[in-house]
Structure 1
Amino acid sequence: MKKFLFTLLALLVTCGNLVKADEGMWMLPYIKDLNIKTMQEMGLKLDADKIYSINHSSIKDAVVIFGRGCTGEIISDQGLILTNHHCGYSSIQSHSSVEHNYLENGFWAEQLSDEIPTPGLSVKFLNRIEDVTDRVLDAVNPDMQEEKREHKIDSVLIAIAGEVPDTLGYVPVVKPFYSGNSFYLYVYQEYPDVRFVGAPPSSIGKFGADTDNWMWPRHTGDFSMFRVYSDSLGNPAEYSEHNIPMKPKYHLPVSLKGNQPGDFAMILGFPGSTDRYLTSWGIEERMDIINMARIQVREIKQKIWLKDMQASEKVRIQYATKYAHSSNYYKNSIGMNMGLNNLHVLQKKRELENKFTFWVNRNEERKEKYGEALPLLEEAYTRRAPQNKARNYLRESLISGTEIYLFAYRAKRLADVMLSGNDELLKITVERMREDGEAFFKDYNPSTDQKVLEAMLKVYAQEISNSYYPSVYREIKSKYKGNYAKYAAKLFRKSIFADKDRYMAFLNKPSLKLLKKDMAFSGGVSVMNEYRLLVDLMRQQDFNIEKGKRLFEAGLHAMEPNKVFYPDANFTMRLTYGQVEDYMARDAVHYLYYTTLEGVMEKEDPDNWEFVVPQKLKELYLTRDYGRYADKDGTMHVNFLTNNDITGGNSGSPVINADGELFGLAFDGNWEAMSGDIAFEPELQRTINVDIRYVLFIIDKYAGAERLINEMTIVQ
């Protein structure tokens, strides 16, 4: 098992051509051996070390982790960053107010001094990758109990990460691959001074909003711009007015050549998570428990939010980011369940499992190595189902549904400090809570959350057995006769966590007695205690699932030795390659590979906030004032399709042509292939991208931000 990947590489000469070009999220150190020949046959004009090299600058040096869950790319020698509008959305929202509504009106810094510091936002550059598999697996043996094995591996990972010098912003991360059969150290360099440079209004950057999300055809200018700053020596530094635009090792040239069907397209980015080797029991859990909890609970919450957002501009700004985040995977879960059913994925998985069982049982040595994998998985998924359903509904409703319980629960650290009697630590804790309160109440509307709390208490009680009720339900039953509305009304009337003035006054004179009596605090503690109990109840089955998955995936490699397996996504840099391509969505429905500005005008609906078109954009369309950004047919292309293999985390990833030039910006997948995180379907799965020419057109012709265009290396 320790030689897992080396065995894989040894097979490349004989089986490389078996890899389908448009499937797979490939590890960069191995593209020279695994992929480059196929990529060049598809049209790529670069060598592998131009894409990834540890000896000199390469394309990987222009690709960054943007924030906590997106990808961005450097497009100038002055550290200019391009990413999606929805990736920059929370930062744009944080700078917005009723007086300066950058979400609605957009923003463009006229000069460097106008670029807005964004505390809490950083970017990370990949410095190096190291295979540490042998070192990790040498510390364990097959006879170890799974919990002990996990603890031992964790201790080794901590030791490995601890060997990376804590200087110049270096951040080490050790990740498991192939369900824990391999391990790699990734060393990043983090730059914490990132400033907001520009973004179109949401009527361009979020055109179509929730209606068009995950759909094709699409007409969205989903981009925003930031800049990374460094100290005078080019090193990472916290914000300072003396910092300067960072000089990157590499920046991507920007192409105006356009695209045609069959054109080579590769994407580098940080895909978050896939589970392509998930078994049938895991898929049933995903569909029937995880996705259903998300769909049911978020639909209720989002209706409440949206009603209040439509009634108040202030609430609309406060909840814009929250609503977008919630809605995104609400709709994804609906599409995933539909796709898994339509594509008969469960049936295919069961056929594979039957094949695996037959293969294992034909050989005693294989039975010894892999025989317990599938029985272990079936039993563990079945036994944890009731607790897992409760855990998912609890998380969706009373932890991340209503906001007040989790906010109030965070005051538990204050209670612990007050009990300790450490006055110095008390001052520090109170100050941190003041800062947290400022951030929380800026984007919080108590009357909205009161309605959400009432609804969340109700939906959890309806769906989950009372044996998994948090203790707060006993209080509601005894004191309020089970009336959730009456309970919520009193909580929001009395709690120190429901009102900024009460909260700040409490911090001026903290009282342990008052804190313990607070309804939001006691409710939050009750919910989190129940959540931890559910986690504990599931712990052994979780260990069994991890072991079963590890054995099953290792067994699959042994069963099919002539197949090259790519690892699941785990938010490490990966490469996917494919082509510009249209698709047949269903019988008699053929989608073209690109959309144009004409489609924006066709979708315009001034009475629907999702489809409002700015007046200036209409004027540019009517005069056909597209400049050098028009396609050769004279139209303004907006979005286009490729068959690349991406997932969440790839948002903002650069789409790179055969010459190594940026020609698009990945931002979404298509509705028909929402099952893609579990099962890739090459005939259906498409990546939706913003045409870089539309990005430049908006920057130049719409916004007049020519200084940003002049920074870039434009290839005509």
Structure 2
Amino acid sequence: MKLIRYCILLISFSSFAQQGGMWIPSLLEGLNESEMTSLGMKMSAKDIYDVNQSSLKDAVPHFNGGCTSEVISPNGLLLTNHHCGYGAIQSHSSLENDYLTDGFWAKNYTEELPNPEMTVTFIVKIEDVTAQVLKNTQKLSSEEEKQAVIKKNISHIVENSPKESWQNNRVRTFYEGNQYMLFVVETFKDVRLVGTPPSSIGKFGSDTDNWVWPRHTGDFALFRIYADKNNRPAEYSENNVPYTPKHFLPISLDGVEEDDFTLVFGYPGTTDEYLPAVAVEQRVNVINPARIGLREVALKEQDKFMRADKEIKIKYASKYARIANYYKKWIGENQGLKKSNAIAIKKQQEADFTKALAQKNLSQTYGHLLPAFEKAYQEFEPYNLAYTYFSEAILRNIELMRNAFQLVQLEQVYQAKGKQSFTDRKENLLERNASFHKDYSPHVDKEVFIKVMQVFAAEMPAEFLPENFKNVNIEKLADDIYSNSALTTSENTQKILKGSPKNVFKKLEKDPAFTLAKSLTQVFYQKVLPTYQEQELAITALQREYMRAILETSTKEDRIFPDANGTLRVTYGKVKGYSPSDAVHYQPVTYLEGVMEKYIPGDYEFDVPEKLIDLYKNKDYGAYAENGKLPVNFIGTNHTTGGNSGSPTIDAEGNLIGLNFDRVWEGTMSDIYYDPSICRNIMVDVRYILFIIDKYANAQHLIKEMKLVHPKKK
């Protein structure tokens, strides 16, 4: 196998090249640095990433494994999105102390709230290890054998690469397995909640405004990193002290204008920019509609109860937001892919790719790929659809079924590994049991069950349903399960799990929730999962070969970036408005006036705190206004995705100017196809954040921690 080294970042395949890109920060010197400079950047690549000196990377940790954050003071003060900290905020909330509704602001270190299991992870060093990972795989023809050797090589690298005792090594794959990078990281485990605005600010617009522009959301929250006396990671302890960072971001008070340079630094989760047209067609026409349909009925039921009952609203707020986020994203993704004609464009790219193969005498090597994709995805479709329905219905949207599925897995663990493994898994389930039921309502879940299972029974390919589930009366089934299952309460779940494995499973076999989950799971494991995994592995191998072919047929003028994979990336662009449709043009900045225009007293999504109204009426904006108006959000051309939530938006000189939190609905298809005319990321203007902290929360002690600058007034 020909090894493709990091220099492939500097070449690409012309018909794939587009504005955008998610670039590895250790490899910015050269083309990327020149492009950023041409856009107005005044920093160097080493200011962004440097192993030997402090740099921007040292201020941008991965937040709790799913979002991004940034250090904004010498005392470890951490900024991220309100929605990234939502679960922690909810966990500290109750009817007596409703921080979701009222907000929370610690007045000093002792009032800051610990969050068990929350982590932030810093990148210390990035190193290319492709040759070591792919060693001894070149002559292997079996995909299973290749993956086994790669896994062994990665384990050796992780265990033997240099690091400090408090650090960890990780290896991640890029370009579909054509490149591998080693990351040396530091993970801090004592992260405390410092401040959060009420949801009427931090989640203003809620689901109606999610993924859309114009936006008026103060989507931020403050945490603090704590370390031991040596400034190293440590488990939570009252003896820990605020972390002293290698670098923290100064904050610009000068604001943004159209065409200002913007750099977004963060941990984008997953993109699929190089999927073939047939895969995109399947997602648009089959998989996304299935996901959307199931989540739509589940969300409708949850929303009905949340609007009627404040206690249910608190219990389900975080869960609802999590499910609704991608539900709406998939709708926008489908609309964007159709509007931008992405499938036709990808087919044209593939025609150009075929010509390029012929020009480079590579048709014999790679000419089989596109026909192979067509055949593979045709065979994959029914299994992909069945996998989607099972995971959405059983594992995501019906909470009781998810719990029952975990008990089915418990039985499988016992049968495969014996009593000790059973005991260990059971103890883990019991630990999670109380916290799960704290935010669970059987009454709500029953109605979700009915609606979701009606869709599941009707739409799941019939060959993948148990015989006793065909033509079933879902409402009667729900009555039986939610009236008689022990799994609907914490106490009864604990009782049913007491005793020897034999006694536990004897009791479970009489539980209607368990028996339903078991029958559905058995069919899924027997008829769906093995073929799904086999075909997915074959498609993965094809995709890796396709990626290598794209790289080999690229020209020096082109730009190919690796798909997002949860690792630290740089994306750069400009503040820019856009025109989503005929006769419509959006300006790039919104103001507090827009909040008041949307204000609906008492509304679930558009209520506004009285104090914010008073500040608006009095124009009491402090140092944060611009020509008498208070900026709230702005948009740019940065190529972002899930995981970039909480990413810092940095100006040309390395100062914080905004906080990334969303994308525009018309451009959510950028995970698959980036169209620079309509793809925009949405950011909170940092001056709105400072205004809320200072004027709304009266938390001036936090402002004093920060370094506020005026770079445009030099």
Counterpart residue number, 1:368:
364
Larger mean CA deviation between 207-216 and 583-592 belongs to: 583-592
Please state how far the C-alpha of 1:164 moved relative to its aligned partner. 4.8
Counterpart residue number, 2:519:
526
Q: Secondary structure at the match of 2:255?
A: coil
Q: Does 2:644 correspond to 1:668?
A: no
For 2:572 and 2:429, how far apart are their aligned partners in 1?
47
1:29-428 correspondence runs (5 A): 29-141=26-138, 143-164=140-161, 168-361=165-358, 366-412=362-408, 414-415=410-411, 428=424
Query: Counterpart of 2:477 in structure 1: which amino acid?
Result: Y
Q: Is the 8 A contact 2:134 2:153 kept in 1?
A: no
| Counterparts in 2 of 1:76 and 1:668: CA distance versus 1, 3 Å | same
Query: Counterpart of 1:409 in structure 2: which amino acid?
Result: F
Q: Secondary structure at the match of 1:404?
A: helix
Larger mean CA deviation between 484-493 and 380-389 belongs to: 484-493
Please state how far the C-alpha of 1:76 moved relative to its aligned partner. 0.6
Please state how far the C-alpha of 1:415 moved relative to its aligned partner. 4.1
Q: 1:697 is matched with which residue: 678, 691, 694?
A: 691
Counterpart residue number, 2:5:
5
| Counterparts in 2 of 1:669 and 1:499: CA distance versus 1, 3 Å | same
| Counterparts in 2 of 1:415 and 1:355: CA distance versus 1, 3 Å | closer
Counterpart residue number, 2:484:
494
Please state how far the C-alpha of 1:458 moved relative to its aligned partner. 1.4
Please state how far the C-alpha of 1:44 moved relative to its aligned partner. 1.5
TM-score by length of structure 1 reads 0.94
| Counterparts in 2 of 1:266 and 1:421: CA distance versus 1, 3 Å | closer
| Counterparts in 2 of 1:99 and 1:166: CA distance versus 1, 3 Å | farther
For 1:214 and 1:476, how far apart are their aligned partners in 2?
37
1:589-600 correspondence runs (5 A): 589-600=584-595
Counterpart residue number, 2:582:
587
Identity among equivalent positions (%) equals 41
| Counterparts in 2 of 1:39 and 1:362: CA distance versus 1, 3 Å | closer
Please state how far the C-alpha of 1:493 moved relative to its aligned partner. 1.6
Please state how far the C-alpha of 1:357 moved relative to its aligned partner. 2.3
Please state how far the C-alpha of 1:155 moved relative to its aligned partner. 2.0
Q: Secondary structure at the match of 1:4?
A: coil
Please state how far the C-alpha of 1:612 moved relative to its aligned partner. 0.1
Q: Is the 8 A contact 1:398 1:456 kept in 2?
A: no
Question: How many pairs are equivalent?
Answer: 704
Q: Is the 8 A contact 2:354 2:363 kept in 1?
A: no
| Counterparts in 2 of 1:378 and 1:327: CA distance versus 1, 3 Å | same
1:426-437 correspondence runs (5 A): 428-437=424-433
Counterpart residue number, 1:613:
608
Q: Does 2:561 correspond to 1:571?
A: no
Per-residue CA distance 1:377-422 (angstroms, 9 max, x = gap): 1111010111111111111112212111221232346546777998
Larger mean CA deviation between 648-657 and 606-615 belongs to: 606-615
CA RMSD across the alignment: 2.2
For 1:300 and 1:287, how far apart are their aligned partners in 2?
20
Q: Does 2:580 correspond to 1:547?
A: no
5+ unaligned residues in a row in structure 1: which ranges?
none
Query: Counterpart of 1:644 in structure 2: which amino acid?
Result: N
| Counterparts in 2 of 1:482 and 1:412: CA distance versus 1, 3 Å | closer
5+ unaligned residues in a row in structure 2: which ranges?
none
Q: Secondary structure at the match of 1:68?
A: coil
Q: Is the 8 A contact 1:495 1:519 kept in 2?
A: yes
For 2:519 and 2:413, how far apart are their aligned partners in 1?
20
| Counterparts in 2 of 1:484 and 1:695: CA distance versus 1, 3 Å | same
Query: Counterpart of 1:254 in structure 2: which amino acid?
Result: I
For 1:613 and 1:9, how far apart are their aligned partners in 2?
47
Per-residue CA distance 1:244-282 (angstroms, 9 max, x = gap): 111111100011011111111111001111111111111
For 2:410 and 2:339, how far apart are their aligned partners in 1?
51
Q: Does 2:633 correspond to 1:636?
A: no
Q: Is the 8 A contact 2:269 2:641 kept in 1?
A: yes
For 2:427 and 2:534, how far apart are their aligned partners in 1?
40
For 2:172 and 2:311, how far apart are their aligned partners in 1?
42
For 2:422 and 2:342, how far apart are their aligned partners in 1?
54
Q: Secondary structure at the match of 1:682?
A: coil
Please state how far the C-alpha of 1:550 moved relative to its aligned partner. 1.6
Larger mean CA deviation between 499-508 and 157-166 belongs to: 157-166
Q: 1:445 is matched with which residue: 428, 441, 445?
A: 441
For 1:492 and 1:9, how far apart are their aligned partners in 2?
55
Q: Is the 8 A contact 1:2 1:134 kept in 2?
A: no
For 1:176 and 1:88, how far apart are their aligned partners in 2?
28
Q: Secondary structure at the match of 1:411?
A: helix
Per-residue CA distance 1:301-344 (angstroms, 9 max, x = gap): 00111111112111111111111111111111111111111111
For 1:555 and 1:650, how far apart are their aligned partners in 2?
29
Query: Counterpart of 1:710 in structure 2: which amino acid?
Result: K
| Counterparts in 2 of 1:493 and 1:661: CA distance versus 1, 3 Å | same
TM-score by length of structure 2 reads 0.94
Please state how far the C-alpha of 1:509 moved relative to its aligned partner. 4.4
1:4-23 correspondence runs (5 A): 4-8=4-8, 22-23=19-20
Q: Secondary structure at the match of 1:85?
A: coil
Per-residue CA distance 1:457-515 (angstroms, 9 max, x = gap): 2111111222101x3xx4456xxx72111111111122121112212233444632102
For 1:382 and 1:101, how far apart are their aligned partners in 2?
51
For 2:195 and 2:571, how far apart are their aligned partners in 1?
28
Counterpart residue number, 1:647:
641
Q: Is the 8 A contact 1:476 1:487 kept in 2?
A: no
| Counterparts in 2 of 1:361 and 1:166: CA distance versus 1, 3 Å | closer
| Counterparts in 2 of 1:709 and 1:122: CA distance versus 1, 3 Å | same
Counterpart residue number, 1:708:
702
Query: Counterpart of 2:49 in structure 1: which amino acid?
Result: Y
For 2:413 and 2:11, how far apart are their aligned partners in 1?
58
Q: Is the 8 A contact 1:376 1:544 kept in 2?
A: no
Counterpart residue number, 2:672:
678
| Counterparts in 2 of 1:327 and 1:424: CA distance versus 1, 3 Å | closer
| Counterparts in 2 of 1:618 and 1:135: CA distance versus 1, 3 Å | same
Query: Counterpart of 2:593 in structure 1: which amino acid?
Result: E
Query: Counterpart of 2:306 in structure 1: which amino acid?
Result: M
| Counterparts in 2 of 1:538 and 1:661: CA distance versus 1, 3 Å | same
Q: Secondary structure at the match of 1:86?
A: coil
For 1:285 and 1:239, how far apart are their aligned partners in 2?
47
For 2:370 and 2:196, how far apart are their aligned partners in 1?
50
Please state how far the C-alpha of 1:368 moved relative to its aligned partner. 3.2
Per-residue CA distance 1:266-299 (angstroms, 9 max, x = gap): 1100111111111111101211222111110000
For 2:383 and 2:208, how far apart are their aligned partners in 1?
34
| Counterparts in 2 of 1:422 and 1:704: CA distance versus 1, 3 Å | same
Please state how far the C-alpha of 1:528 moved relative to its aligned partner. 3.1
Counterpart residue number, 2:531:
537
| Counterparts in 2 of 1:673 and 1:9: CA distance versus 1, 3 Å | closer
For 1:644 and 1:427, how far apart are their aligned partners in 2?
49
Q: Is the 8 A contact 1:195 1:227 kept in 2?
A: yes
